[in-house]
Amino acid sequence: MNTLGTSENPLQVAVVGSGPSGFYAAEALIKSGRAVRVGMFERLASPFGLVRSGVAPDHPKLKQAILVYDKIARAPEFSFFGNINVGKDIMLGELHQNYHAVLFTCGAETDRRLGISGEDLRGSHTATELVGWYNGHPDYRDRVFDLSHEVAVIIGQGNVAADVCRILAKTADELKHTDISEHALDTLAESKVREIHAIGRRGPAQAKFTSRELREFGELGDCDPGVDALELTLNPESEAELADKNNVVSAKNVEIFRDFARRTPSKHRRCIFQFLRGPVRLEGTGRLERVVLERNRLQGAPFQQSARGTGEISTLECGILFRSIGYKGVAVSEAPFDKRNGVMPNRAGRVLDSDGSVVPGLYCAGWIKRGPTGIIGTNRACSVETVGSLLADLDALATRDAKSGMAGVRALIEQRGLRAVNYDGWLKLDAAEVERGKLKGKPREKFTRLHEMLALLG
Amino acid sequence: MTTIVTENCLRCRFTDCVTVCPVNCFHGDDEMLYIDPEVCIDCSACVPECPVHAIHEGEDIPDNLKDWIQINAERAPNLPVIDGKQDPLPTAEARQAELGY
C-alpha cells in the first residue's frame, strides 16, 4: 500500500458541520501539501453555519467570509453533503469505514439555561430562537414571538445580546434592505416594543460587547441608548482593570456608556443598559409578566471579579424576555461528550474517551472543541491546530486498504433513498435566493423550509 | 470602517494576527504586515492579537496614524498573502520592550 496522503492513497477526511470551523479545517487540509479528499456533512440543505444563520442581517460585511468558504468548496478535493444528518442518516461508524479520520465541527447548538423558576413561561425565550428566526433557520422559522408589550428584556451583555437588542430596536425601514427573513420583518414591523433592557450580572467594565457593536446603539434611526450615570461609578478593582494596557476594549466600552449616559432621549424607542443585576425568577399567570432581579456586587481581584447577590430585589414588568448567556454543545451519538461543559473532551483537537485516552481517527474543532467563545476568525486558528494534530497522526491513520470516501458515502445515500444536496445544488439555491431578494431590494430572500429547497432542486 | 496595521509592526512582524483572520487579508513585506481593505470584513478578530497594539480600526485610529490607511490600501494588494504564523523579526523582542508592551 502506498503512503497515506499521496495521490495513489489520498487522506480521506469527513468533516461534520459546515460552519466557519468546518471550512477552515477543510482549507488547512487542502493546503497541507498532502493529497487529501474532504467530505463535508451538514444536516441542513445550506452550508456556512452561523455565518448564514447567526451573523445579524444588518451586518452584511461579516457575511463576506462566505466568499472564502465558497472558494474552498470549489476545490476539486472537496465535496459537500447537505441535508445529511450524521448520527441519524449516516452513522459515525459508517464514516469511519469510509474515511481515515472524522472531524467534528458541529458547533454549540443549544443555549445555557438560567436555572430559575418561570424560565419556561410563555414569553420567555432564548436568543438562539430569535436569531434563528430572523435569519430564516428552518428549525426556528415557525417560532412565535409576541411583541405586543412595550417592554422587552435581554439577559446577557455579549454580542449575541447586542444583536437581539439592535434588531428589536431598529425600524422596519432600517431592516427591509437586509437579508432578514420576510416572516421576521413582517412581525418586527408590527412590534410595540418601546423599551429594551439589556441586563448584565456584572458591571459596565465587564460587559462583553465589542466596542463596534456597542457604538451602533448610538447611531440607530429611532432608538436612543440609555444608561443611568450612577451605574457607571466603578469599584477600585474595575478601575484597575480599565487601567490595564491590554484591556482597551473595556476602557472604550465604559467611555461609550458614559457618552450614552449624557444623552437626552428624543426617539421613539430606548435601549437601556443595566448592570450588576441578575434574574432570580420570572413571574406571570400563564405567561411572562415580570422579571424579578437581584442587585449584585462584584467580588474578587481585578479580572477575576464575580457577581454576588446582595439580597436587594427589584421587579421589571415585561412582555418578552430573551436569555443570551452563552451556548452549549449537543452530543452526537456514538462520540464522547462532556455534558457539563457541552464540548467533546479533547487534547489539541484529538477527541478523548472517558478514561482520557485518544479515540483513533476522531477529531474536533470550533465551538464543540473549545466551547462557545471567540468570533469567526478565532475558529481558523482552532481548526489549524486540530488539522496539525490530524496530520501528525498520519502513520496511525493509515489503513491496509484505501478508504472509499465520497464513493462509499454516495452508495449509502442511494441505498437509503436520502436526498443529499451537493455544492452545485447549493449554488442553485443560492442563485434563487438572490433572485427572490432582488424583487424586494434585498441581497437575498432565504428559503426557510427544506421542502421548498428540495422542490427547487427537482 | 477600515482596519489597518500601523508603525508598531515595523521591526516586530509578530504575525499572531494572521492566524485569526477569517478572510486571509494580511499581506507582508520583509518589514511588516498590511491589511487589504478590499478583502477585510472588519471583524476585529486581529486587533487584540497584536502584542504591540499595531492594529487599529475605524473610529479608534489615532489621528497621527491616519496616513497608514492609505499605506495599507496601496501596499497590501501588491504583496504576498501571509496566512500562517511566521517567526517574528529578530528585532521584535527589543522593539516590544521599547514600545512598553
In the stretch 52-71 of chain A, residues with CB closer than 8 A to chain B read 61-62, 64-65, 67-68
Residues A83 and A118 reside in one and the same domain: no
Which of A274, A297, A327 terminates a domain? The answer is A327
Going by C-beta distance under 8 Å and a sequence separation of 6 or more, which residues neighbour residue A264? none
Q: Is A454 domain-assigned?
A: no
Task: Print the domain residue range for B75.
Answer: 3-85
- Window 3-62 of B: residues touching A by CB (8 A cutoff) are 19-24, 41-46, 48, 53, 57-60
Domain count, chain B: 1
Q: What is the sign, positive or negative, of the torsion defined by CA atoms of A49, A50, A53, A58? A: negative
What secondary structure does DSSP assign to A302-318, as a single string?
A: TT--EEEEEEEEEEEE-
**CATH number of the domain that residue A265 is part of:** 3.50.50.60
Kindly state the cell numbers that stand for A271: 435601549
CA dist B57 and A458 (Å) reads 46
Share of chain B above pLDDT 90, in %: 91
Q: Is residue A443 part of a domain?
A: no
Local confidence band at A109 (pLDDT 50, 70, 90 cut-offs): confident
Per-residue pLDDT at A326: 85
Question: Which residues, 6+ apart, have CB-to-CB distance to A10 below 8 Å?
Answer: A34, A35, A36, A37, A77, A405
Give the model's confidence band at A1: pLDDT under 50 very low, under 70 low, under 90 confident, else very high: low
ipTM above 0.90, yes or no: yes
Q: Which residue has the cell 437581539?
A: A164
pLDDT for the residue numbered B30: 95
| Domain membership flag for residue B91 | no
Of A303, A327, A351, which closes a domain? A327
B92 part of a folded domain: no
CA B82, B87, B91, B92 dihedral sign is positive
B100 within some domain: no
* Total number of domains constituting chain A: 2
In a domain, B94, yes or no: no
Closest Cα partner for A128 from A342, A330, A323?
A: A323
> Does residue B72 sit within a domain?
yes
pLDDT tops 90 at residue A373: no
**Quick one: A250 and A313 in the same domain?**
yes
What is the torsion angle, in degrees rounded to the nearest 10, for the CA atoms of residue A436, residue A43, residue A4 and residue A348?
A: 110
Q: How many residues does chain B have?
A: 101
> Mutating which of A24, A210, A219 best tests the B interface, going by the most B Cβ atoms within 10 A?
A210
Domain that includes residue A276, residue range: 112-327
User: What value does the mean pLDDT take over residues A96-103?
Assistant: 97
Q: For A172-220, what is each residue's pLDDT tens digit?
A: 999 999 999 999 999 999 999 999 999 999 999 999 998 889 999 999 9
Q: Does A177 touch chain B (CB under 8 A)?
A: no
Does residue A266 share a domain with residue A203?
yes
Q: Are residues A77 and A123 in the same domain?
A: no
**B35, B74 in Cβ contact below 8 A?**
no
Residues A319 and A364 placed together within one structural domain of the fold: no
B60 lies in some domain:
yes
- B70 lies in a domain? yes
Distance of alpha carbon A12 from alpha carbon A406, whole angstroms: 9
Last residue of a domain, one of A298, A327, A356: A327
Average pLDDT over residues B67-94: 96
**A94 falls within a domain:** yes
